[in-house]
Amino acid sequence: HRKRCPLEQHNVNSEQKARKMAAQNKEVDALVQKITGLHAAIAKLPSLSPSPDVDALFTELVTACVPPSPVDVTKLGPEAQKMREGLIRLCSEAEGKLEAHYSDMLAAFDNPLDHLGMFPYYNNYINLSKLEYELLARYVPGGIAPARVAFIGSGPLPFSSFVLAARHLPDTMFDNYDLCGAANDRASKLFRADKDVGARMSFHTADVADLAGELAKYDVVFLAALVGMAAEDKAKVIAHLGAHMADGAALVVRSAHGARGFLYPIVDPQDIAGGGFEVLAVCHPDDDVVNSVIIAQKSKDVHAIGLRRGHGGQYAYGTVPVVSPPCRFGEMVPDMAQKREEFANAEVVF
C-alpha cells in the first residue's frame, strides 16, 4: 500500500468528520423529535400528581434524557427551546407533587427518617450529596468544615440536607429555605422524632431575593436545580448570592449537561463567575446522578475577577475546570455505546 500524501489524508479525515457530524445530527434530530412527542403527551395530562400514566411518561422521558448524548440544548432552534422551557416547568411541577405525596406518606410513620428508602429515587440523592461533599472537600482551598449551611430551594422532601447532615457534616447546622410554606411544613414534620439531625435543621419560608444580611453567616450555600428556571433568573439569583455571601464562602450550584438539559436548567459557569465567584470545578456525572455540579467560591476581589474575565483570563470560554467525579479518578471512561447499553438495561425511576 502506498502512503497517502498529506492532502489525501486531509480529505479522508474531512470525510470521516463529516460522516460523524451527519450521524450526530441525525441522532440529535431523533432525540428532539422523541422529547417533543413526550412533552405533548405530558402537557395533555389532566394532572401531574403521581399516577400510572404520569409515572410511565416521566420514566420514558428520563430514560431518553439520561444516557450520554451529543445534543447541546442551548443551541437548539427557537421552537425546540420553547418546548424545552415548557418541559422543565412541567418536570418541576411533577417533581413537586411527587415529593409532596411521599412526604405525606412518610409523615405517617413514628420516625419518618427510618423509611426514606420508600422514595423511588432516594439513592440518587445519596449519590448526589456524596458527590457534592467530595467535590467541596477536594476543590475548596483548605477543605471544608462548615459551621452553618444554607440550602436554597429545599422543598417538601429535603433529602440533600438530610444526607449531608447525617453522613458527611455531623456538626453542621442547616437552614433550609423554600418559597412554599406548605413545603416547609411538610419537611419539618419528617424530622420531629430525630434528636440529632432534627436539632440541626431549621426551615424558613422566603424568596432568596429577599435574603440579604443572613446570607453572610453561611460557610456553604447550596442552590437547588429548579431555583431560577430561566437562565436570566438563575443569573440574577447567583448575582444576589454573590452580593451578600461572605468572602471565601463556597457555593454549590446544580446544573445539567447533554440531553439532561431537557429535565433541568443548564447553568453557564460564566454566569457564576460574573456573580462574583471563582469557579473551582464543574462535574458532569454519567451515571444515575442526573444533575451536574458546579463548585465555586465567593471571591474577595470581584473587580479582579471581572478584569480576568474581560481579558480572556481564568474564566475565558473553554477554560472552565471540568473534572471527573472524585470517586472515579483513574478509572477508564467507558465508551458512549457501552454507556447507552447500560442505561437501556437499567431501570430508571422518576
Is the CA virtual torsion 260, 339, 64, 34 positive or negative? positive
- Residue whose entry in the numeric block shows the C-alpha cell 451578600: 244
- CA 51, CA 133: separation in Å to the nearest integer? 34
- Domains in the chain, start-ordered, CATH in brackets? 107-303 (3.40.50.150)
Return the pLDDT at 287: 87
Report which residue type is found at 26. K
Q: Using CA atoms, how far apart are residues 79 and 226, in angstroms rounded to an integer? A: 22
- The values of phi and psi at residue 296, to 5°, are -140, 165
Question: In this structure, what C-alpha cell is assigned to residue 36?
Answer: 417533543
> Has this prediction a pTM greater than 0.75?
yes
pLDDT tens per residue across all 350 residues of the chain: 555 666 666 565 777 778 777 777 888 999 999 999 999 999 999 999 999 999 999 999 999 999 999 999 999 999 999 999 999 999 999 999 999 999 999 999 999 999 999 998 899 999 999 999 999 999 999 888 899 999 999 999 999 999 999 999 999 999 999 999 999 999 999 999 898 999 999 999 999 999 999 999 999 999 999 998 888 899 999 999 999 999 999 999 999 999 999 999 999 999 999 999 999 999 999 888 999 999 999 987 654 444 444 433 344 444 668 887 775 433 333 334 444 444 444 444 43
Q: Strand 292-298 to strand 277-283: parallel, antiparallel, or no bridges (unpaired)?
A: antiparallel
Hey, is 82 helix, strand or coil? helix
